[in-house]
Structure 1
Amino acid sequence: MEIEAPPVDRVRVEPTAERRGLILVNTGDGKGKSTSAFGLALRAHGRGKKVKIYQFMKVPSARFGEHRMFEQLGVPIEGLGDGFSWKSKDLEHSGQLARDGWVRAEGAIRSGEFFLVVLDEIMYPLRYGWLPLDPVLQALRERPSHVHVMLTGRNCPQELIDLADTVTEMALVKHHYRAGVPAQRGIED
C-alpha cells in the first residue's frame, strides 16, 4: 500500500443550479447496487422524507432482510415479480408482472407524493423486453421536479445513462462465489 498525505486544501465548487429531483443509477457487474439504493432510502427516511421501494424481480411475499427492516421502519417496499428468470415457470407471466408493476411505480413517480422512489432491479425487465424503455424514460422526464428516482441493475441502457444525473458503475474485482463460498443471509439477502 502506498501512503499518501491527507488533503489540506479544499477546493469547493459552488453549485450554480437550483436543487431538484435527481435520476440516479447504480449499474455494473459488481455487488452493492441494491444495497447502495437501500442506504439512500434509509438516508432519506432518516431525514423525514417519504420513500417508496419497488423490487422488480422479488416476489410480493419476499421476507429478505431488507423487507423486515423497512417494514419495521415504516418504509413501503413492494416485490413486483416472481423471482429471477431462471426460477420462473412462465416467462409471459413474468413479463406481465413487470408491466403491471411499472404501472404502480410510474403512478408513484408521477404522483409527487414521494421524495424518493427506488426501482430496484428494473434493468432486468428492460433488458428482457418485458418492459419498454420509452415509457420509463418519458415518466422520468415528466416527473414532478422534486422527485428523486434511483434505478438499479446490470447493463443499464445507454439512453437511461444519458438521462441520469448520477451513474455509478459497480465493478467486480473479486467474488466469493468464484471461490465456492455460497450466498449468506444478512450479506446477500
Structure 2
Amino acid sequence: MSDQEYDSPEAREERYLKRQKKKKEIVDARIASATEERGVLLLLRGNGKGKSSSAFGMLARALGHGQRCAVVQFIKGRGSTGEYKFFSELPQVDFHVMGHGFSWETQDLDKDREAARQAWQLTLPMLQNPDYNLIVLDELSYMIKYGHLDAAEVAEALANRHRMVNVVVTGRVMADELLAVADTVSTIKDDGHAFRKGVKSQPGIDW
C-alpha cells in the first residue's frame, strides 16, 4: 500500500490542486500561443458511424452563434433525412441535396458523375463567399474515390478558399491531397454496428 493511501484528505486535496494548477498553466500557454484567426478545414473519415452526425453537430453549434452556413450533400439523394428536414427550414442555412443516392442504387455512372460535377460547381463560389462561416461538404470524399472529381483540383480549391470560411468534409477515405491541406483530421472507428446484428435502420438514428 502506497504512502498516498494513508494521506489525510487535506494532503490529497493539496496534491489535486497542484496538479490542476500545473495543467492550467499548460493549457493557458497553448491558448496564448494560438493567435492566428482564420477558417479551418476539418476532415471526418473512417469506417465508423457518426461522421455526418458530427458534421451536423458542428452545424448546430455554428447556428447557435448566429452564423450563416451551407450544406452540400454529394450522395444522399432523398430529402427525407432528419438533417434535411430540420436544417433546410432554417433561414441561416443553404441546404443542397445534389446526389441521386448510393451508387449501387443508381447503377448509372454517367448520372452519378454529372451529379458530382454539378455539386462541385455549386460549391466553388461558396468557398469564396465570406458570408459563410461554415460549409459542410457531406460525403465529398467519395466523389474523389470514385473518380468523379480530381483530388488535386478539390484540394487546391479548399486550400485557396476565403480565409475565414470553415469547411467540414466527410467520407470514409480521404485522398492524400486533402489530408495535406487539412487542419484537423478525425478518424471514426467501427467497433460494431447494429445493422450487422440484423437491426433495421431507423429514422433519427440512421437518417
Give the TM-score taking structure 2 as reference length: 0.84
Q: Which residues of 2 match residues 119-130 of structure 1 at below 5 A?
A: 119-130=137-148
Unaligned runs of 5+ in 2: 1-15
Amino acid at match of 1:69: F
Indicate conservation of the 8 Å contact 2:79/2:85, yes or no. no
Q: Distance in 1 between matches of 2:89 and 2:52?
A: 19
Correspondence for 1:91 among 109, 123, 136 = 109
Correspondence for 1:70 among 82, 87, 90 = 87
Q: Distance in 1 between matches of 2:193 and 2:184?
A: 25
2:3 match: none
Give the TM-score taking structure 1 as reference length: 0.91
Report the secondary structure of 2:144's partner residue.
Answer: helix
Computing the radius of gyration from Cα coordinates, the structure with the larger value is 2
1:79 aligns with 2:90: no
Report the secondary structure of 2:128's partner residue.
Answer: helix
Superimposed CA distance per residue, residues 73-123 of structure 1 (whole angstroms, 9 cap, x where no aligned partner): 332211111000000141111101101110001111122221111100001
Q: Distance in 2 between matches of 1:157 and 1:103?
A: 20
2:59 match: 41
Q: Distance in 1 between matches of 2:116 and 2:35?
A: 35
Indicate conservation of the 8 Å contact 2:152/2:177, yes or no. no
Structure 1 segments (4+ residues) deviating >6 Å: none
Q: Distance in 1 between matches of 2:183 and 2:133?
A: 16
Unaligned runs of 5+ in 1: none
Q: Distance in 1 between matches of 2:34 and 2:83?
A: 37
Correspondence for 1:174 among 174, 192, 200 = 192
Structure that is richer in helix per residue: 2
2:166 match: 148
- Count the aligned residue pairs: 184
Percent identical residues: 37
Question: CA RMSD, aligned part only?
Answer: 1.7
Single out whichever of 81-90 and 67-76 deviates more from structure 2: 67-76
2:69 match: 51
How much does 1:144 deviate? 1.1
Amino acid at match of 1:166: T
